Amino acid sequence: GIARVYGLNEIQAGEMVEFASGVKGIALNLENENVGIVVFGSDTAIKEGELVKRTGSIVDVPAGKAMLGRVVDALGVPIDGRGALGDHERRRVEVKAPGIIERKSVHEPMQTGLKAVNTLVPIGRGQRQLIIGDRQTGKTAIAIDTILNQKQMNSRGTSENETLYCVYVAIGQKRSTVAQLVQILSEANALEYSILVAATASDPAPLQFLAPYSGCAMGEYFRDNGMHALIIYDDLSKQAVAYRQMSLLLRRPPGREAFPGDVFYLHSRLLERAAKRSDQTGAGSSTALPVIETQAGDVSAYIPTNVIPITDGQICLETELFYRGIRPAINVGLSVSRVGSAAQLKAMKQVCGSLKLELAQYREVAAFAQFGSDLDAATQALLNRGARLTEVLKQPQYAPLPIEKQIIVIYAAVKGFCDR
């Protein structure tokens, strides 16, 4: 909900306010006569003419290791029924992204446990890799598998600084889906290094708008203390819709698809906070895996075309591949990683060098092979090999593979041991 408040003449942009009923809000529109405030919570208890107090503080959330294993809302309040948080510090939700001097180029691998991702679109620590696709194509499955895979990766780490902590931000999802996710993570003992931030479908739009920034602030605690974080935003299309709703109610001028003019800045200021820090500033990192849902596979819509240039590559998932049983349903032609290959393990880089080329040739030939039945031996061999490589890259859900096994499997496939 939106409240118009009069008399708060010296309020700061983004400052928290408190209504008489105890509900909090944030000042977004500072106008001549009044202040436009978005309400974090139910607006039914708010009445005309009641008192609104400034808190004097910009919105902040709890951060620290006490958050691990907990499920919190967008303001960092626990919603898992396990009591108050332990010792923690508080961090501002909106902070500037690290500057150029504080950064270092991405060079360490972030293992997802998925053969198709680690070979074709590798991800490094500090990278922003978009997962984009229609509904029900397995976007969340890739993100969850990545979290589950950190269990074995973290158990191998010799020092605290090698551990990768995970923050999963659920935006506009059903409560049952979030509960199911908590169960999957706890059964795999993955909650011990994870934080869940949930702004569910029944939560007000301001909380859905704020949740990604809150999750980012929690992940930045690890990045700024020389540790590593992975932050999954599932999904940013719903955040954009929530922001559109707030902006229209605040009477901001609408633009394309009724989104406000600064919807690009909404996502860019969030994703720019993912970074690999330089050795002088602690060498920590935060990796971002934003998820975007497309409509009927349209990657050229407004929000996808905004987020694709901000990120360092994208994993495109397709409904058609999913229904053909190719899972993860990655479209190899459209998916790309712009920096991840620098972070790939040497062994993996050596074995999967020709894989992408061979799959591209296979797709090209397969398109023509539909029309003719009399194929020469070389073309038939290429088709058979491509089909086998595609089969090798398939992987069931919640079954991440150790990187050594992945290298052996890919080596066997590329060197032709599967062709016989």
Active site residues: 338
How is 30-95 classified by DSSP, letter by letter? E-SSEEEEEEES--TT--TT--EEEEEEE-EEEESGGGTT-EE-TTS-B-SSS-S--S-EEEESS-
The structure tokens 């955040």 sit at 239
- CA-CA-CA-CA torsion for 264, 221, 114, 156, nearest 10 degrees? 170
Reduced to 3 states, what is the DSSP secondary structure of residue 320? helix
- Sort 168 into a burial class: Cβ within 10 Å, 0-12 / 13-18 / 19+: buried
Give me 245's structure tokens.
């709703």
Q: 263-271 vs 205-224: helix axis angle to the nearest 10?
A: 30
Per DSSP, 281 falls in state G
Amino acid at 206: P
